Every structure is written in structure tokens, then in C-alpha cells.
Amino acid sequence: MTIIITAFERSPDGGKGLARDTRVRWALEEAEQPYGVRLVSMAAMKEPAHLRLHPFGQIPTYEEGDLVLFETGAIVFHIAQHHAGLLPDDANARARAITWMFAALNSVEPPILELVIAKILEGDKPWAQERLPLVKDRVRERLTQLSARLGDAEWLDGAFSAGDLMMVSVLLRLRPSGLLDEFPSLAAYVARGEARPAYQRAFAAQLAINAA
């Protein structure tokens, strides 16, 4: 069954791969699943046709026959559950990999999003300069904890999994801030993720649309 995802007609990042369709593309590439992409404008995302797929009027969405999904966590989990390559067979290792997916989305991404909001949406507020260091320190706290757990390992728990895919995707959003470089082991971890052929294909596919 053909898989169709949605992505920005033109991503505001100009092809840096930071929009969330990249993590879905990456999962599909790791799982060796072909997919099509329907590009949507910011206006079309808020129209009834797209709202039927995504209640919050966002990208990405995922369609596979009668199945319609939104939320990248659910989409990547669905792909990982149904195809080899993203979750270990051993039940406990699988549960731990899923735990890392949730950790990426629920414990690491929120402070990173706070930073993005503080810089981009609130940067001109009179209190912004006072708040920014506090927000950055909350990101640093999570990165300190994460790098302590990663240690010298290549991936978070044994072989590369959907947990790493999600964590690397979340950490990539930090790159423009320079904060990632304060944590060399995490910067190297992200670079290992980016070096994977599946990520390279996913990145190139979104770049082809956004750099045109």
C-alpha cells in the first residue's frame, strides 16, 4: 500500500531538515519503505481537507490505505512496529528503545522548543534577554544528563533504534543555537545519526523540495 506523508510546500528553514517530516522520512528510509509526499502550504494546512488528517493543522501526516496518522512519535512508532530495522526483537530491549522515543519527545524536546520559542517568537519582548539564559540552562541540564547516560556508547541502548532516530532528530533542532557543541559526545552522537545512509537520503529528499 502506498504511503503518503505531508510536508511543508516550503519549509521556513530553507532545507536544513529541521521540520518534522524529516524524522518520518528517515524512519521510512531506515525501514526501506517507499513513500510519496504531498506538499501543503501554510494556508492549506488550516483548511478542512488537511484538518481531517491533522486536527491541529500541522505537518507531517501519514496515510497508508485507510490509516491516517499524525504526531511524529506515533508515526515513527507505527513504522518501527511494522518493519524491520528500527526496534530490537528482544521484548525488553524493544521496550527500552520505545522508552527512548518517549524520552526524546517528552523530556528532551520540550526545553529545546522553549529555547526556539524564546529566541524566535519572544526575542523582541522586553524581558527576553533576562529569560533566555534561564531557558538555555534548562536545555544544558538535560544535555548534561543525556550525555552522562550516553557515555562512550555509540547509541543510547545497544544497536541503533527508533529511540536514537527520535533523539538525534530532536537534538538537531539545537544546532543553530551552538548549545550542542558544548557537549562534544552528543555532537558526535548526532553526527553519527546524520551519517547514516537512510538519514542522508531523507535529508536530500527534503532539500530537493526546499532548496529549489
Note whether 24 and 74 are within 8 A (CB). no
Q: Which of 3, 59, 171, 179 binds ligand GTB (CB under 6 A)?
A: 59
Q: How far is the CB of 206 from ligand GTB (least distance, A)?
A: 11
Stretch that binds ligand GTB, among 11-19, 27-35, 121-129, 152-160 (CB under 6 A): 11-19
Note whether 61 and 54 are within 8 A (CB). yes
Other residues' Cβ atoms within 10 Å of the Cβ of residue 198: 20
Q: Which of 4, 9, 13, 110 binds ligand GTB (CB under 6 A)?
A: 13
Dihedral angle sign, alpha carbons of residues 198, 171, 69, 158: positive
Q: Which is nearer to ligand GTB, 121 or 153 (CB)?
A: 121
Q: d(Cα 157, Cα 96) in Å, to the nearest integer?
A: 7
Q: Which of 18, 97, 156, 186 binds ligand GTB (CB under 6 A)?
A: 18
Site for ligand GTB contains 22 (CB under 6 A) = no
Note whether 6 and 21 are within 8 A (CB). yes
Site for ligand GTB contains 58 (CB under 6 A) = yes
Site for ligand GTB contains 166 (CB under 6 A) = no
Specify the 3-state DSSP secondary structure of 188. Answer: helix
Q: d(Cα 86, Cα 20) in Å, to the nearest integer?
A: 18
Site residues for ligand GTB, window 71-110 (CB under 6 A)? 71-72
Q: Which is nearer to ligand GTB, 18 or 115 (CB)?
A: 18
For residue 1, the number of C-alpha atoms closer than 13 Å in the C-beta half-sphere is 11
Q: How far is the CB of 91 from ligand GTB (least distance, A)?
A: 26
Stretch that binds ligand GTB, among 16-24, 135-143, 186-194, 204-212 (CB under 6 A): 16-24
Note whether 101 and 81 are within 8 A (CB). no
Q: d(Cα 5, Cα 117) in Å, to the nearest integer?
A: 26
Stretch that binds ligand GTB, among 13-21, 82-90, 135-143, 148-156 (CB under 6 A): 13-21
Q: Which residues of the chain form contacts with ligand GTB (CB under 6 A)?
A: 11-13, 18-20, 45, 57-59, 71-72
